[in-house]
Amino acid sequence: MRLSVALCTYNGERFLPEQLASIRGQTRPPDELVVCDDVSADRSAAIAREFAGRAPFPVRIEVNETNLGSTRNFNRAVGLCTGDVIVLADQDDVWLPHKLAALEAALAADRDAGFVFSDAQMVDEQLNPLGYALWDAVRFRPREQERFRRGAAFEALLRRYRVTGATMAFRAVYRDLVLPIPQEWVHDAWISLLISAVGRCALVTDPLIQYRQHARQQLGEKKRGLYGQYLVARTMSRKTYEAVASRYAAALERLRHVPGVGAAQLAILEKKVDHYRRRTAMRDPGAWRVPIILREYLRGNYSRFSLGWKAVAQDLFLG
């Protein structure tokens, strides 16, 4: 299979050379690298062009006319890839040498898998280990990993994000399904959810990248304790829940028109949207929260679509 790497850059000159070097150093080199620069104010595009001049594989570099933002930039990069498999890449990580070989092997071993993702080493700016792995940070436990292997990834992803784009690759036959990516979604969450509705996923339990955590990154995965989770919960407002309902309503609308999506999957997605609309409504002035919370709890929706008792406490005591 032909492997295309979709790399998005934006003011990434500090870490980009290391990432490009790690892509070049793969034991199984990519068949194509597509770089979309989002009008960087630094030398990101120039660094990519210099790399293209000496890379042992084709490199296509596109500089956007205007700043698109992360989601639309990945949308463009994915659309430009020509390979059978599209491997997503962030500008500030470092790939371990066997990453592409491991992802390709996982997809070759499971022909029904639409996408694959791996664990990652969590490191600081200088690539020093932080003492935990990505799957530890997102609490992706062995029991839930087994659910993914059994083909239950779709329902699991309706509860919370599990797939980090920097560790992910998917088959290009699903590109028409996932594009265009709605602006309100993070690209990896959207891609993994939609593909899991029509196919299986494969897991690589070994870390395949050094996932750099630094102050300027747009997204990251910090390991938070209970108090840290509480602080995050306090920042969530009515608009937060309304936005979640809107995002999943967009996924529902996309999947309604996709052959192979079962009625059961659409039904559970409808319940997810309804759950978050109810969590939104209870934040209206004068709303009686307790009856809504009790209804959602008794129907199992808190454990199925939110974070269980933590979400119940959040709705009872926080805004």
Per-residue model confidence (pLDDT) at position 317: 85
Q: Please tell me the number of Cα atoms within 13 Å of 109 on its side-chain side.
A: 12
The whole-number average pLDDT for the span 112-118 is 97
For 121, the 3-state DSSP assignment is strand
Per-residue model confidence (pLDDT) at position 39: 98
Work out the end-to-end distance of the chain between its first and last CA atoms, rounded to an integer number of angstroms: 50
- Across 82-118, b (16+ Cβ under 10 Å) vs e yields ebebbbbbbbbbbbbeebbebbbebbeebeebbbbbb
Q: What is the pLDDT of residues 118-177, one digit of tens each?
A: 999 999 999 999 999 999 999 999 999 999 999 999 999 999 999 999 999 999 999 999
Assess whether pLDDT exceeds 80 at residue 238.
yes
Assess whether pLDDT exceeds 50 at residue 239.
yes
- In which residue ranges of the chain is CATH 3.90.550.10 found? 3-212
Structure-model confidence comparison of residues 226 and 299, the more confident one: 299
Structure-model confidence comparison of residues 234 and 176, the more confident one: 176
Query: Residue 144 CA to chain centroid, in angstroms?
Result: 17
Give the CATH architecture of domain 3-212. Answer: Alpha-Beta Complex (3.90)
Per-residue model confidence (pLDDT) at position 260: 84
Ramachandran area for residue 121 (φ above 0: left; ψ -120 to 50: alpha; else beta): beta
The whole-number average pLDDT for the span 180-203 is 97
Average pLDDT over the chain, rounded to whole? 93
- Residues contacting 277, CB < 8 A, separation 6+: 242, 245
Per-residue model confidence (pLDDT) at position 169: 98
Q: Which CA distances in Å does 179 have to 65, 92, 183, 309? A: 20, 24, 11, 35
Assess whether pLDDT exceeds 70 at residue 220.
no
pLDDT band at 236 (very low <50, low <70, confident <90, very high): low
Percent of the chain beyond pLDDT 70?
A: 92
Query: Residue 197 CA to chain centroid, in angstroms?
Result: 15
Assess whether pLDDT exceeds 50 at residue 199.
yes
Q: What is the pLDDT of residues 49-73, one digit of tens each?
A: 999 999 999 999 999 999 999 999 9
**Picking from 185-199, 226-240, 248-262, 291-305, which range would have the lowest pLDDT averaged per residue?**
226-240
Round to whole Å and give the CA distance between 37 and 8: 6
User: What is the residue whose two structure tokens read 């996309």?
Assistant: 254
Assess whether pLDDT exceeds 90 at residue 230.
no
Per-residue model confidence (pLDDT) at position 228: 55
Helices then strands (H, E): number in the chain?
15, 9
pTM: 0.92
Nearest residue to 103 (alpha-carbon basis) of 36, 166, 150: 166
